[in-house]
């Protein structure tokens, strides 16, 4: 559909941003729904981020996604911070409405939707969850799992002190269901769900070398890495007969609320969308 002077415009802010699959994803939805709109990459260096956000607001943008390294900076830029962002301590979705900057975080919700889609019948309440990592993604995932009813979330990170800080932050909410494991085997023991929120296994990064033997039968293994689609962790999980959840689903689902707020349609994640986005991602 050709753009008109009434087109709605959004984008993704990052540094760098050329690797982002979000323009391909949102472009698919815009075409599918025949929307007069555009979604563009917005490379913004950290020192100019706040200035750029205000510029997009002034230029009439509908909003923007925020990716590395700007998610914490985006939090500070918002006039209105939704509960999802406050709990996660970071913003990944900006919506410009009535001259104000609204910030939310859809990462945790997107993760849960992805696991439910790729591991039918899974419920957070089924058992403990082991979360590897202690960064922003770990915070969003752990928070979402606790809110969804996970009886216990066990954090494990190469730098134990970072995991301890995150655990204390989550305990401030009074959950009483957060713990830190000294090593991966201790974290995995009895876990109904294992989630890798680190960059290990990503293209260009070292693999995540992990013995999955401590996981019980029926456990689900999720990796938020989506380049490549089939990480060594997921291959290892499937080899043991465990259900594996790739990171592409989280990317697709977390995008839905922003698209709704910017373009007025709540899109769906289906096989056609997944195939379109996956065609630009190496399998291994």
Q: What's the domain range around 74?
A: 8-105+255-278
Clarify whether residues 23 and 68 are in a common domain.
Answer: yes
| Residue-wise pLDDT tens digits, 115-160 | 999 999 999 999 999 999 999 899 999 999 999 999 999 999 999 9
Distance CA 226, CA 242 (A): 19
- How much is the average pLDDT of 88-112? 96
Q: How confident is the model at residue 172 (pLDDT cuts 50, 70, 90)?
A: confident
- How much is the average pLDDT of 33-52? 98
Catalytic-role residue among 26, 70, 71, 152: 71
pTM of the predicted protein model: 0.94
What is the C-alpha R_g of the chain?
A: 19
Clarify whether residues 147 and 193 are in a common domain.
Answer: yes
Question: In sequence order, what DSSP letters do the residues of 187-201 get, joined into one string?
Answer: HHTT-SEEEE-SSTT
Handedness of CA 131, 259, 120, 274 (dihedral sign): negative
CA-based end-to-end distance of the chain = 34
Q: What is the CATH number of the domain that holds 206?
A: 3.40.50.720
Which has the closest alpha carbon to 226: 104, 118, 140? 118
| Residue-wise pLDDT tens digits, 179-230 | 999 999 999 999 999 999 999 999 899 999 999 999 999 999 999 999 999 9
| Residue-wise pLDDT tens digits, 244-264 | 999 999 999 999 999 999 999
Q: Is 2 among the domain residues? A: no
Q: What are phi and psi of 98, to 5 degrees?
A: 55, 40
Clarify whether residues 112 and 38 are in a common domain.
Answer: no
Distance CA 189, CA 254 (A): 29
Q: Which residues pair with 8 in a beta bridge?
A: 37
Clarify whether residues 234 and 164 are in a common domain.
Answer: yes
Clarify whether residues 136 and 152 are in a common domain.
Answer: yes
Clarify whether residues 89 and 130 are in a common domain.
Answer: no
Measure the CA dihedral 228/244/277/120, to 10°.
Answer: -170
Distance CA 249, CA 204 (A): 21
Clarify whether residues 127 and 233 are in a common domain.
Answer: yes
Q: Is 12 a catalytic residue?
A: no
Residue 71 reports pLDDT greater than 60: yes
Pairing mode of beta strands 100-104, 220-223: unpaired
Clarify whether residues 188 and 71 are in a common domain.
Answer: no
Clarify whether residues 59 and 124 are in a common domain.
Answer: no
């Amino acid at each position: 559909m050709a753009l008109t002077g009434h087109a709605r415009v959004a984008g993704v802010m990052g540094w760098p941003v050329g690797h982002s699959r979000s323009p391909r994803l949102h472009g698919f939805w815009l075409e599918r729904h025949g929307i007069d709109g555009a979604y563009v990459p917005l490379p913004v260096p950290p020192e100019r981020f706040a200035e750029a956000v205000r510029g997009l607001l002034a230029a009439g943008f509908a909003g923007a996604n925020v990716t590395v390294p700007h998610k914490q900076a985006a939090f500070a830029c918002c006039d209105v911070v939704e509960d999802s962002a406050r709990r996660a301590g970071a913003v990944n979705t900006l919506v410009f409405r009535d001259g104000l900057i609204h910030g939310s975080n859809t990462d945790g919700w997107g993760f849960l939707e992805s696991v439910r889609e790729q591991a039918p019948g899974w419920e957070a309440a089924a058992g403990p969850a082991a979360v590897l990592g202690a960064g922003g993604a770990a915070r969003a995932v752990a928070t979402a799992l606790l809110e969804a009813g996970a009886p216990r979330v066990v954090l494990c990170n190469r730098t134990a002190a970072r995991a301890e800080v995150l655990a204390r932050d989550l305990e401030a909410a009074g959950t009483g269901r957060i713990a830190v494991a000294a090593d991966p085997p201790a974290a995995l023991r009895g876990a109904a769900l294992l989630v890798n929120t680190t960059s290990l296994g990503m293209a260009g990064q070292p693999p995540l070398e992990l013995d999955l033997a401590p996981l019980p039968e029926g456990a689900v293994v999720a990796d938020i890495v989506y380049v490549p689609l089939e990480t060594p962790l997921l291959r290892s999980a499937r080899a043991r007969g465990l259900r594996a959840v790739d990171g592409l689903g989280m990317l697709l689902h977390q995008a839905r609320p922003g698209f709704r707020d910017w373009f007025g349609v709540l899109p769906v994640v289906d096989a056609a969308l997944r195939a379109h986005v996956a065609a630009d991602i190496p399998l291994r």
